[in-house]
Amino acid sequence: MKRASRTGGRRPVASVYRGTPRNLAMLARLLREGDLVAVPTETVYGLAADALNARACRRIFEAKGRPAADPLIVHIQSIRELELVAEANPAARRLASAFWPGPLTLVLPKKPVIPDVVTAGRSSVAVRMPAHPLLRRLLKLAARPLAAPSANPFGYLSPTTAEHVRHGLGLKIRHILDGGPARIGIESTIVDLRNPEKPRLLRPGGISRASIARVLGRTVAVPTVRLRSVAHRGVGQLAPGQLARHYSPHTPIVLHRRLSLAAASKSPLDEAWLFIRKQLKYNRKNIFWLDRTGDSRGAARRLFSLLQRLDEGTWRVIHAELAPDGALAEAINDRLRRAASRD
């Protein structure tokens, strides 16, 4: 049953539910009736509504403070459902069977059942089949596709736990399904496949560009829009509404190609130093790392939760190191650059 309940305050506060059969049935009913439910996915938590109900989807934008021009991802329960919401093509089917359920989102021409509010008036729709077992059960019980952006206030770090969702949106929504900490920790990779001959990477994410290229047998282009005021080549304004400043903590972040342990060991104690790999020699309370061995999957898993924790502290600045290599380095560095951007 319910784990945490409403507080005695005047404003409603979200309840957090465990994934019992009874809770899932109740949350599925609420979704069918047009309510919002925050849901776990393997990437980050999402804020879900019935994707076929325009009014329900409009409430997502209100709760997040999200501009109406930023379209939502539609989550489906089976590969078969892809054909109901989008015009698929052979390249899309190949990627779907290779990576679904999983952290890959395909942008394709939309079918009329998807309301305009979901796609921000575009003729394309972003679709993914998530892997989290609780969300898959909920999709099945709700018996309809669910539109869901990340469950954070617009522009802030994406949530990887139910607690992050409650912290960020607890006063705006009523229901949060707890599925534990997100396994991947970083959002899905978005590929534009409207032209299957020319696949384009709109957002790096949980599946590497190289593995997508391998399955398609062709390279996946990265549109070269630069992030303003960021000194590195990055993927800029790609997916609509992906502003340069996105995933931003309140604490300023300074990026480094390599952090020096010697410098960190002499740094003022109001500066946090965030390494990719565990630093064995020094045990100072302002030195942090994302993964014991520096593995990019482990680093991705902890990225948002560690940034969120640091942001709750009183650090004057966070010095963060870019990921040097690994399958998810491109996605990690994209998020770090956006978090560091002050645009």
Label residue 238 exposed, middle or buried (CB < 10 Å: 0-12, 13-18, 19+). buried
Angle CA(83)–CA(89)–CA(90) in degrees, nearest 5?
115
> Quick one: which of 24, 96, 117, 125 contacts ligand TXA (CB under 6 A)?
125
Q: How many residues bind ligand TXA (CB under 6 A)?
A: 28
Binding residues among 113-152 for Mg ion as defined by CB under 5 A: 150
| Site membership for ligand TXA, residue 43 (CB under 6 A) | yes
> Cβ closer to ligand TXA: 53 or 119?
119
Asked whether position 77 contacts ligand TXA by CB under 6 A, the answer is no
The crossing angle, in degrees rounded to 10, of helices 162-169 and 296-312 is 40
Minimum distance of Mg ion from residue 294's CB (angstroms): 26
Q: Which is nearer to ligand TXA, 165 or 259 (CB)?
A: 165
C-alpha of 75 from chain center: 13
Indicate the residue among 73 and 272 with the shorter CB distance to ligand TXA.
73
Question: Could you tell me the CA-to-CA distances from 5 to 9, 38, 152, 170 in Å, in that order?
Answer: 12, 15, 20, 12
Shortest separation between residue 179's beta carbon and Mg ion, angstroms: 18
Nearest in space to 41 (alpha carbons), one of 103, 106, 107: 103
What residues from 254 to 313 belong to the interface with ligand TXA (CB under 6 A)?
none
Shorter beta-carbon distance to Mg ion: residue 72 or 274: 72
Point out which residues bind Mg ion (CB under 5 A).
150
Point out which residues bind ligand TXA (CB under 6 A).
41, 43-44, 46, 70-73, 103, 105, 107, 119, 122, 124-126, 130, 148-150, 187-188, 190, 202, 239-242
